[in-house]
Amino acid sequence: MQELFPGTQITIGPNIEDGFFYDIAPQTPLSLEDLPKIEARMREIVDSDAALVREEWARDAAIAHFKSIGEHYKAEIISDLPEGEPISVYRTGDWLDLCRGPHMPSTGKVGKAFKLLKLAGAYWRGDHTNAMLQRIYGTAWRTEEELAAYLHRVEEAEKRDHRRIGKAMDLFHIQEEGKGMIFWHPKGWTLYRTMLAYMRRRIEAVGYVEVKTPQILEQSFWEKSGHWEKFHDSMFVCETDEGEVMAVKPMNCPCHVQIFNHGQRSYRDLPIRMAEFEGLHRCESSGSTHGLLRVRQMSQDDAHIFCADAQIVEESKAFIELLNSVYADFGVELHSVKLALRPDKRFGTDAQWTIAEDQLEEAAHLAGIEVERIANEGAFYGPKLEFHLRDAIGRTWQCGTLQLDYVLPERLDASYIAEDGQKHRPVMLHRAICGSMERFIGVLIEHFAGAFPLWLAPVQVTVATITSDADAYARDVVSQLRAAGLRAEIDVRNEKINYKIREHSLAKVPIIAVVGRKEAEQRTIALRRLGGDAQSILALDDACAVLTKEALAPDEARRAKPDHPA
RNA sequence: GCCGCCAUAGCUCAGCUGGUAGAGCACCUGAUUUGUAAUCAGGGGGUCGGGGGUUCGAGUCCCUCUGGCGGCACCA
C-alpha cells in the first residue's frame, strides 16, 4: 500500500469470518479501480517469499519510530497498549509493522487464493467523531478451489436477497419519496396478514389481550415518557395549524401505560399482557435503511407485560419458550441471544439496572438459553435480551426482544394495589417475538428463498388449464378451493401447459393444479408440487380436503389433532 | 450522517475514447387449443433519476440534489 500510494498510513487489519479487512488512511481516497493494482502487488510479495521476522521493541522506541515515519495511528495504538505488554514488530525486508502476531514465517506461505472484494468507510476506533478511514475487505483461502467455492456461495446467497425476491414475486416495493417505507402489494400483504393472524392466535392462546392506541400524540406526552429527551432524533415530529407540536409514535410502550393507568389495578389483575400491532415510525438515519430489514415504518408484534416483581422470572421464561415455539413453527433458527447491558444514555438507578440485568440473565438460564453479554447496548429504560437471526449473506438482525423496565412505570406513575393494601409499582416487560414484522418477513423470504411453506404462501394453488375446453371446470375448481379456505388463483391464458408450469414454478407457487379435458370429465385435478415433477390425481372433493388440512398453520395443525392440544 | 460504488423501457441489462438510444423477458394484437419448466408472427413503449454546467453537439465529461448498494456510525 505504502509503495503504491506513498503517504498512506496503515492502522488495523484483523482477520474476520471468511477473510480480513485493513483500515488505512490514504492521502487521496482509493477507488475500486485501485484494488486490482493492490492485488497484483500482493501477489508479487507472495512470490518474493520474504521472511517475516518478529522483533520486540521498547515502547518509547516503537512510538518514536512510528511517529518519525508519519504513522500516527500506529503510534497511538502503542501508546494505548497496557504497560508491560510486549510490543512486537514484524520486519519484512526494511518494512516494519506493529502487530501482535503471530505471523507465518514468510510471505510465500500465504498463497494466492485471496481476493480483494470491496472498499468501505470505517471510523477510526469505531467512533464517528474520529476521522473516517478507508477499509479494504478481502477474502483468503487455502486453495483456489476454496476461494472459487466461497465466491460461488456468496453469489448464490445474493439470489436469496429479499429485495430481489420481493420484486420478482410482486410482494412489495419502496419508492424514492418514502425511504424506508414499504408499499405492500396484494401478495406481500397476504403473507403479512397470514403471519399476523398466526401471531394473534399464539398470544391469545397464552393470555394476552390486544389494544390499539393513537399514532400521534403531543410533545408533552413524549416529554413525560422520556422519549422526547432520549429519542427525539428518531421521531417524526409535525405541527398543526394551531401550533401544537405532535410526534408520531416510535413505540407503543407509553401508550400501553396509559391504558394500564386507566382505573385502579389490583395485584389480582397481574400479569396484564397487553399486545398491539399498530404501525410505528422511526426516523432512521439515511444510511441505515435496508429493504425490509431496517425500515422507518413498521409494525411490531409488540406487547407489554405489567407484572409484580415476583412474576418477572416466570413471565420471562414463558416468553422465551413461546418465542422458541414460534421460531420453530416458522422454521427459522436462532443465531444468537445477547444480553444488552446499561447504556450511557439511560434513566433509572444503578441498583435498578443491576437487578434488571440479573433477572433477565436468570430467566434466560431457566429457559436453557446461552446469552452473550454486550456492554452499553441496552434501551434507555432497561436492559434487553436480543434474539438474533441471520439473513442470506450471514448478517445478523435483532428480531425478538425482551426488555425489563422499572423506569417507565415510575416516570408515568403506574401502580397497582398489592395484598398489603398499598400502592406498588408494576414492572414492565417489553417483548416482541418477530420484532418488526417487516424485518421478520425479510428474514423469512431469504430463509425460504421465496418458496414458502404452504401455510404461508401468498398463492397456495394455481389452477392451470391445458385447453380452453377446461376453462369452465377450472373456474369451478378455483371456487371450490377458495370456499375451502385456500388461496387459489386461475390461469386460463392461451398458453401451453409447459409455459404455465414453468412460470408458476418460478413464481414459487407450492401447488399447481392442472386441469384438462380428462379432469373436467372426471371431476378430478392433477396436483403438481413445487420442487417435484410427480403428479397425483385426486377427486376434486378429496383434493380440497387434503389441501385444506395440509395448509393449516402449525398451531392449527396441532389443535386439529385430538390427542395433542395446542 | 460518513466513505466507496451505482441509477438507461414494467423487469434484467448492453451502449468503446462525447455524434442525438438497443436486446431478452414482460405487455398489446393476431394465429395456434396445446398433457407437466419458455408456440409462432407482428406491434406499442424510454424528456437515459432530478437540476445546473462544459461543448457545435452530452446517456457518455464536470458540479449538485435525490434515491439505491456495500460498509462504518446509529439501531428504543
Helices (H) and strands (E) in chain A, counts: 18, 30
Q: Which residues lie across from A465 on neighbouring strands?
A: A515
Q: Which residues lie across from A382 on neighbouring strands?
A: A379
Q: Are A261 and A412 in contact (CB under 8 A)?
A: yes
Whether complex ipTM tops 0.90: yes
How far does the CA of A176 sit from the C1' of B47, in Å?
A: 19
- Cβ-in-10-Å burial (0-12, 13-18, 19+) of A17 comes to exposed
Q: Are A222 and A254 in contact (CB under 8 A)?
A: yes
Parallel, antiparallel, or unpaired for β A208-210 and A272-276? parallel
Tell me the nt nearest to A398, Cα to C1'.
Answer: B75
Parallel, antiparallel, or unpaired for β A488-491 and A461-465? parallel
Residue nearest to nucleotide B49 (CA to C1'): A176
Residue nearest to nucleotide B34 (CA to C1'): A496
Determine which one of A74, A265, A282, A439 is catalytic.
Answer: A282
Determine which one of A134, A300, A359, A460 is catalytic.
Answer: A300
Tell me the nt nearest to A250, Cα to C1'.
Answer: B76
pLDDT at position A565: 55
Evaluate the omega torsion of the peptide bond into residue A271 and state whether it is cis, within 30 degrees of 0. Answer: yes
Q: Are A236 and A227 in contact (CB under 8 A)?
A: no
Residue partners of A239: CB distance under 8 A and separation at least 6:
A245, A246
Radius of gyration of chain A (CA): 29
How far does the CA of A228 sit from the C1' of B63, in Å?
A: 39
Backbone phi, psi, residue A457, to 5° = -55, 130
Give the three-state DSSP class for A240: coil
Q: Are A401 and A369 in contact (CB under 8 A)?
A: no
Q: Are A10 and A72 in contact (CB under 8 A)?
A: no
Q: Are A190 and A314 in contact (CB under 8 A)?
A: no
Residue nearest to nucleotide B75 (CA to C1'): A284
pLDDT at position A481: 97
Helices (H), A205-311: 219-225, 227-230, 253-261
Q: Any idea of the CA torsion for A510, A487, A326, A163, to the nearest 10 degrees?
A: 70
Residue nearest to nucleotide B37 (CA to C1'): A502
Q: Any idea of the CA torsion for A264, A265, A267, A271, to the nearest 10 degrees?
A: 180
Backbone phi, psi, residue A449, to 5° = 50, 35
pTM (two decimals): 0.94
Give one DSSP letter per residue of A415-427, joined into a string.
-EE-TTSSEEPPE
Q: Which three cell numbers stand for residue A168?
A: 420478482
How far is Cα A166 from Cα A446, in angstroms, rounded to an integer? 10
How far does the CA of A495 sit from the C1' of B42, in Å?
A: 18
Q: Which three cell numbers stand for residue A353?
A: 439496572
pLDDT at position A564: 63
Residue partners of A478: CB distance under 8 A and separation at least 6:
A463, A488, A489, A490
A128 labelled catalytic: no
How far does the CA of A255 sit from the C1' of B74, in Å?
A: 25
pLDDT at position A234: 94
A541 labelled catalytic: no
Determine which one of A162, A253, A338, A346 is catalytic.
Answer: A253
A253 labelled catalytic: yes
How far is Cα A500 from Cα A491, in angstroms, rounded to an integer? 8
A72 labelled catalytic: no
* Mean pLDDT (10-residue bins), chain A, 566 residues: 89 92 92 90 92 90 91 92 86 86 88 92 94 94 94 91 94 93 96 97 97 96 94 93 95 97 95 97 94 96 96 94 96 94 88 91 90 90 94 94 94 96 96 97 96 97 96 96 97 94 95 96 96 92 97 95 65
How far does the CA of A468 sit from the C1' of B72, in Å?
A: 58
How far does the CA of A539 sit from the C1' of B68, in Å?
A: 50
A300 labelled catalytic: yes
Determine which one of A384, A424, A431, A504 is catalytic.
Answer: A384
- State which nucleotides on strand B lie below 7 Å from a protein beta carbon: 1-5, 11-12, 31-39, 66-76
pLDDT at position A101: 77
pLDDT at position A460: 98
Give one DSSP letter per residue of A286-303, joined into a string.
TTT-BTTTB-SEEEEEEE
Residue partners of A287: CB distance under 8 A and separation at least 6:
none
